[in-house]
Chains A and B, each alone.
Chain A
Amino acid sequence: MGNQSTPQTLFEKVWNNHIIRPQTETTPAALYIDLHLVHEVTSPQAFSLLRERGLKVRRPDQTLGTMDHSTPTTPRNDLGIIPVLDMQASAQLDQFTKNCEDFGIPMYSLGTENQGIVHVIGPEQGFTQPGMTIVCGDSHTSTHGAFGALAFGIGTSEVGHVLATQTLLQYKPKTMAVRVNGTLADGVVAKDIILAVIAKIGVGGGTGHVFEYMGSAIRNLSMEGRMTICNMSIEGGARAGMVAPDETTFEWVNGRPYAPQGADFDKAVEFWRTLPSDEGAQFDAEVVLNADELIPMITYGTNPGMGMPIDGRVPDPDKQATVSERMAMDKALTYMGLQPNEPLLGKKVDVVFLGSCTNSRISDLRLAAKMMDGQKVADDVRMMVVPGSQQVKKQAEQEGLDEIFKAAGAEWREAGCSMCIAMNGDQLAPGQYAVSTSNRNFEGRQGKGGRTFLASPLTAAATAINGHITDPRTLYVPEMA
């Protein structure tokens, strides 16, 4: 069989399309990057490198900046400006503005109409398209793989490389098929799928691999659901996760400001249809999950792999197979203040966070709002709702979702990463428990000493209403579908 007819995976097609110089025994492949997203936190040292060497940004027209990580989500002042009170954050944002201006990079400044979390705005504006290579100095760049793009996080040195050359040196990763067949039950959503996948393979299970999510349960997801899943690929150790583009993808991209328009769009779709993995394409590894058996998931520990069905009991460290697993679980349960065999249902929480690049899109907010319509956030619970972008915020306000959240007693905030990474003052106090729709429950991730349970927007909403960890199926009504 000739090379032409060897069946290829989606990943291989996108990879091969972007090779500038092939991988050899002594050198990695040089890969062309179609879109480089930059934000204030992981780029300053890269711009310094460019200045030191007297280099320009090669393709400012394929680079986009946004402010998201260290930005406050507190209300605007009388002038309509979101004040930045943290001096260090303010200096970092000013430096970012200067860097983008000096190097000619378009940038969405804090509070402007298209600003938001980098992984929300890329798709939203139509920058993210099937078949592209997309990088950003942020591990959740895997989100964009939902469109059939090869998208992954890079370090700051690599940010410098891409700024200067639009090219990146990479060794070809392996591929892992993640097959999810079956139908999700009411109250079970994309977040539950990915938490179940990571619980199954562990936080290092995908190291060295690119995931391709496939199967009927993935096909039936909305683009937002697919983004939620691809977003957390990195929590399973995979730098990238991809979903083959289909009609759902094309429909979502069509008409977005930076997507191809008219005849160009039709031509693009023709190309995009060639991208899905060929029949018989080989993967280096495979993991299979049955969506029929899935119930809402929640994490109990201090990494995203420490997850379980919401009606389960916290595992017993003594029953783990190896010494290191026992030690890790012991340490996690001590930090979390949990006992072995304890159920999590009914566990009182202090904070509920609805937001992050995992779950801050309009469909996430709609889902939570439907559950919270006419309800109240429990006494002593703080609920923060942080839309992923200014556009999501605007859309939600047009639909009246903000009124539902506010009437329930939740905080309706400005767009940004917020308490997912807790750099901007939005954080847990030591010892506080939170149910969070974000992606990481690492020690201190949401504030020093804070304790995070990761879950879906539905579980977050149900928990906010009851004030304790709640199975969302108990509050689910068919209108939420």
Chain B
Amino acid sequence: MEPINKISGKIAPLPMNDVDTDQIIPARFLKTTNKDGLGQQCFFDWRYTADGGLREDFILNQPEYQDASVLIAGNNFGCGSSREHAPWALQGMGWKAVVSTEFADIFRNNSLKNGLIPIIVDDETHRQLMSLAEEDPTTEVSINLEDQQLILPDGRKVEFPIDGFSKYCLLNGVDQLGYLMGLEDEIVEYEGSHDKRVVTTA
């Protein structure tokens, strides 16, 4: 994974709460065994008409949002299934960060493992960003991961939470598996001192 620290980009609005992962990537696209092509399928049923044309009523289809990379989403974004295809699809569509007032737990975990930055802000900042995104599609924000700051067009810096471990992994471009592999001694010790609860191969 590439190290991530600073992100700058235009913002785009998705002003609805509780967007579930079935909307982000419909289940019929989960019959894949890799991560290719998911970007084209992101928000598929909101993006396309039955004959494959772009739906005009879907806000992210508007031409002025096509080069946006920071999604301003509603509360509880990413609820529903555990499919990691959701952050894969969002990244494939070009999103680098998602800003909301709350994210569903599994989606947030999955996003952090893939370098899609979930940014939680307060209601007031969120309202401001949503209005800006709707009124002026040229609006840009920047994100400084090291300082955990979202920098608004007026220069205001809004701090956002991220756990130290995920931040370390993102800044250094390392994934969590390496850390887990380093726990070998502790894992062996645990296995040696605890009875196995179940044996599936018996």
B31 touches A86 (CB 8 A): yes
B16 touches A331 (CB 8 A): yes
Contact count A vs B, C-beta below 8 Å? 211
**Given A41-B30, A61-B201, A303-B18: A239 in contact with B181 (beta carbons within 8 A):** no
Q: What are 11 of the A-B contact pairs (CB < 8 Å)? A: A30-B186, A61-B196, A61-B202, A70-B31, A132-B198, A153-B106, A160-B177, A204-B102, A327-B15, A430-B50, A442-B80
Residue from A20, A161, A204, A422 in contact with B176 in the complex, judged by beta carbons closer than 8 Å: A161
A25 touches B164 (CB 8 A): yes
Task: Encode contact with B along A398-424: 1 for CB under 8 Å, 0 otherwise.
Answer: 000000000000000000000001110
| Complex contacts, A88 vs chain B, CB 8 Å | 31-32
Most buried by B among A49, A141, A258: A258
Cβ of A335 to closest chain B Cβ, rounded Å: 11
Band of interface residues on B? 35 or more
B106 touches A169 (CB 8 A): no
A160 to B201, CA, bound (A): 20
B109 lies within 8 A of chain A by Cβ: yes
A173 to B106, CA, bound (A): 12
A445 lies within 8 A of chain B by Cβ: yes
B45 touches A444 (CB 8 A): yes
B9-41 interface (Cβ within 8 A of A) = 15-18, 20, 22-23, 26-28, 30-35
A129 lies within 8 A of chain B by Cβ: yes
A167 to B187, CA, bound (A): 8
Cβ of B160 to closest chain A Cβ, rounded Å: 16
B156 lies within 8 A of chain A by Cβ: no
| Complex contacts, A422 vs chain B, CB 8 Å | 27-28
A171 touches B18 (CB 8 A): no
A137 to B86, CA, bound (A): 13
B31 touches A443 (CB 8 A): no
A89 to B29, CA, bound (A): 10
**Given A35-B200, A60-B201, A137-B82: A423 in contact with B28 (beta carbons within 8 A):** yes
A69 lies within 8 A of chain B by Cβ: yes
A347 lies within 8 A of chain B by Cβ: no
Task: Encode contact with A along B119-158: 1 for CB under 8 Å, 0 otherwise.
Answer: 0000000000000000000000000000000000000000
B150-202 interface (Cβ within 8 A of A) = 163-165, 168, 175-177, 179-181, 183, 186-187, 190-191, 194, 196-202
Residue from A26, A129, A154 in contact with B82 in the complex, judged by beta carbons closer than 8 Å: A154
| Complex contacts, A457 vs chain B, CB 8 Å | none
B114 lies within 8 A of chain A by Cβ: yes
Most buried by A among B79, B179, B194: B79
B194 touches A32 (CB 8 A): yes
A293 to B104, CA, bound (A): 31
Task: Encode contact with B along A233-256: 1 for CB under 8 Å, 0 otherwise.
Answer: 010010100000000000000000
